[in-house]
Chain A
Amino acid sequence: MIKKTQREIFTHIILILLVIILAFPVFFALVTSTLSFQESYQYPPKLTPGSQFIDNLKEAWSRINIGRLFFNSALISVVVAIVKTILALLAAFAYTHFKFPGQGLLFSLCMITQMLPLPVRIIPTYQLMAAFNWINTYYALMVPFFASTTGILLFRQFYLTVPRDLPDAARVDGASPIRYFLQILVPISKTNIAALFVIEFIFMWSQYLWPLIVTTTGEMRVIQIGIKMLLASEQIAPEWNVIMAATIIAMLPPLVVLLILRKSFVEGIAMQTAK
């Protein structure tokens, strides 16, 4: 018994050490964001927080329009995550509840998407945006991302486990497929919807290469590019305190989304992994 307790304490110690090591870079960023410029260049480096966070943030705000960039990032992340979820729900419903000619082929087509990440088609996709006159618009930032293989697979996996009495009962009761979908299938997919929302929100919030290419003016930039702009504007010594204040703001929304939806996210992944 004593041996078991000892082992448990040992596990706790290792886990706590891991938590600290993993968190250290962000802790360091947090501290830096609260220092004055002089403090941030103190030698040896300072590891205790200062009181300049608001000033640093104001400074970052005046150099790049953080409010606007933040809004752009939030807008494209929320819209893309929602649209992707809707399209994936519809497609998964079709693939699992109907039989139709060309089904296999159309399903493979969706799966191929996984192998075509942006860089393998980047130049023509950019040319397409130019042809649509979409350069420097929200359309360019959002529409090319609307298809979601991850989502289709996630919902398909789940719908294959739904007892077949459910659609049968709905049909006997005279419910249309759409009504069955909206009133039964979507509500029981809550966990998977939340999991997909987390994945897609974080994915969009992290986008960098595509926004860099398709936006040309300050007010269409996203927050990730904002960090680059802050860093690039520096001459000799980067003002890490100012940059980190902006970085802290940039990391908050996806963290909040993950923390709020963590339970559903983890459960959704577990469902997906179980075969």
Chain B
Amino acid sequence: MHEDRFPGHKFLPYLLIAPSIVVIFVFLIGPFGQSIYESFFVSTPFGTKTIYVGLRNYIRLFSSPDYLNSVVVTFKFAAFVIIIGLSISLAIAQLLNQKIRGMGFYQIFLIWTYALSPTVAGVIWASMFAPATGLIPYLVSKLFPGYTMNWMTNGQLALFIVAAAATWKMLGYNIVFFLAGLQNVPGEFLEAAQIDGASPWKTFWRITFPLLSPTTSFLLFVNTLYAFFQVFGLIDIMTHGGPGNATELLVYKLYRDGFIHINTGFASAQSFIIFSVISVVAIIQLRIVTRRAIYYR
């Protein structure tokens, strides 16, 4: 792939990567291995003794209705954030990807939500939807007299609102990447399709969308990580996993079991399960990217 541009410096490359590698080993790979190890143990209430229990933590998890509920909730939440979020972002990026006046202005004002934290997004949406006093329940009560919108008692509604808030916050990021991807689609391809009389709709699905697949799969991965982990603050601010456990995402349950109930083995098993899901998504992403590379040559 490349040659040695500075032959004769045997130790220098190792020295250059050493800081990154040390951090990765000490704070990432080491703890990850330790986490898998701890998932086979339970500790006594005061943490004085740990007992090997084999797969019992895992069995307990999969026979726990609470945990299975978290799995379902997380998948619903992630599906919303990914499918709705990516579709809207792609549509907006497509709209932005043309020569019109004021592009710079639109670009800034459509990507800036990227700079907001999930916590900030959460607190703002919580205030807008505050039952009985918030703006949105007010508007809803005007539009549909007799219906009271209260997401603190309606689990499905709560899940929808946290997912919408999370999606809104991520739009800016997705738009930046989609726009960059769209701008790399060779113009000749699109012109050729136009000359052949293909409709814009067809051109998009037959040419633009396949060429965009590396960007899309990258965003799929990033948004999965986001929906699984980074929204913790948003959930903690907005619902604490409630009402009931309607919005208790896996990461929130993990935090509760590990740091509130101090059940380390149980929480470590949860960590490993989440890792497995992430790996599957990562493999899918990798396959899409490599397949495209081959197809291109």
Contact = CB atoms under 8 A, between A and B. Distances in A.
B100 A116 contact: no
Interface residues on B, range: 35 or more
B98 interface: yes
Contacts of A265: 176
Nearest to A147: B23
A12 interface: yes
Interface string A10-26: 01101100110011011
A151 to B, nearest CB: 9
Nearest to B172: A22
B133 to A, nearest CB: 6
A116 B119 contact: no
B29 A116 contact: yes
Interface residues of A, number: 99
B115 A177 contact: no
A124 B115 contact: no
Interface in A98-141: 98-100, 103, 106, 109-110, 112-128
A15 B96 contact: yes
B5 A97 contact: yes
Given A206-B118, A250-B120, A274-B184, A120 B35 contact: yes
A258 B112 contact: yes
A186 interface: no
B264 to A, nearest CB: 5
A11 B95 CA distance: 7
Interface in B266-295: 267-268, 271-272, 274-275, 278-279, 282, 293
A143 B4 CA distance: 32
Interface of B: 1-6, 9-10, 12-14, 16-17, 19-21, 23-24, 26-32, 34-35, 38, 92, 95-96, 98, 100, 102, 106-121, 123-128, 130, 133-135, 138, 168, 171, 176-177, 179-181, 183-184, 214-215, 225, 228-230, 232-233, 236-237, 251, 254-255, 258-259, 264, 267-268, 271-272, 274-275, 278-279, 282, 293
Given A25-B125, A124-B34, A244-B124, 4 more contacts: A97-B6, A144-B23, A244-B123, A266-B180
